[in-house]
Amino acid sequence: EIVLTQSPGTLSLSPGERVTLSCRASQSVSSSDLAWYQQKPGQAPRLLIYDASSRATGIPDRFSGSGSGTDFTLTISRLEPEDFAVYYCQQYGSSPRTFGQGTKVEIK
Amino acid sequence: EVQLVESGGGLVQPGRSLRLSCAASGFSFDIYAMHWVRQAPGRGLEWVSGISWNSGTVDYADSVKGRFSISRDNTKNSLYLQMNSLRPEDTALYYCAKVDQWLGYFDSWGQGALVTVSS
């Protein structure tokens, strides 16, 4: 099983700031089969990024993903008020599909 | 527009059974694999089970293997999760999710069905 470790656990930031979230895998993720999801309180997760760097339909270009192998990053170039949420990475290249424990981005 | 609507959640005693359903619409249900993902209160996401488009392949997390059974009815555009021998640690919001391919990312999610296992 591939274990995904996200860091940091919580980020306290202000609107307009740049955000970099990390996701590290315990072993190489097949074919960059890594996704990022955003979850707001009381809502289902929403797909942001797939294949490590491809934006899902309707996702603003301030969200970008990068990385390969065992190290992946989600970057939000400029935080908007609606971006305060929990972010999860997930690998889908092998079973069991696994998620990171999440990073909470909160308002400072 | 893809819509996934879960139902069948509720309060159940440990050791008992419950069956979740997911009604799909807005896409060709019969050509996509489907999965269940759960989230315990205040916790992260955990993949539970998946089924291929034709039910030929199924997969389970170790935590539910032998107790849960996934199935689908393509004539009814519906996905199911039969949960037996429920434990308190199965308490969670259960999401139905669509994938683009068998080993794929979850591109659409339902709003979830809450299952509470408690005496």
pLDDT of amino acid A30: 85
For position A85, what pLDDT does the model report? 97
> What local confidence, expressed as pLDDT, does residue A39 receive?
98
B31: left (phi > 0), else alpha (psi -120 to 50), else beta? alpha
Closest alpha carbon to B95 in B113, B75, B80: B113
What's the pLDDT band for A31 if we cut at 50, 70, 90?
confident
Return the pLDDT at A25: 97
User: Mean of the pLDDT values across residues A75-103?
Assistant: 97
The pLDDT of residue A81 is above 90: yes
Question: What's the start-to-end Cα distance of chain A, in Å?
Answer: 36
- The per-residue pLDDT string of chain B (119 residues; one tens digit each, 9 = 90 and over) reads 999 999 999 999 999 999 999 999 999 999 999 999 999 999 999 999 999 999 999 999 999 999 999 999 999 999 999 999 999 999 999 999 999 889 899 999 999 999 999 99
Picking from B5, B6, B12, the residue whose alpha carbon sits closest to that of residue B115 is B12
Does B111 sit within 8 Å of A97, measured CB to CB? Answer: no
Beta strand ranges found along chain A (DSSP E): 4-7, 10-13, 19-25, 34-39, 46-50, 54-55, 63-68, 71-76, 85-91, 98-99, 103-107
Question: Tokens representing B104?
Answer: 């794929």
A72 touches B: beta carbon within 8 Å: no
Partners of A39 on chain B (C-beta within 8 Å) are 45
The predicted pLDDT at position B15 comes to: 98
- Out of A50, A51, A96, the one facing B47 most closely (by C-beta) is A96
Chain B, nearest residue to A55 by Cα: B107
* pLDDT at residue B38, as a whole number: 98
Question: What residue has token string 């990385």?
Answer: A67
CA distance B14 to chain A (A): 26
Report the pLDDT averaged over residues A46-75. Answer: 97
Rounded Cα gap, residues B81 and B45, in angstroms: 17
Helix (H, G, I), strand (E, B) or coil at B113: strand
Q: What is the mean pLDDT of residues A41-69?
A: 97
DSSP for residue A82: G
| pLDDT of the residue at B94 | 98
pLDDT band at A4 (very low <50, low <70, confident <90, very high): very high
* Residue contact B45–A46, C-beta within 8 A: no
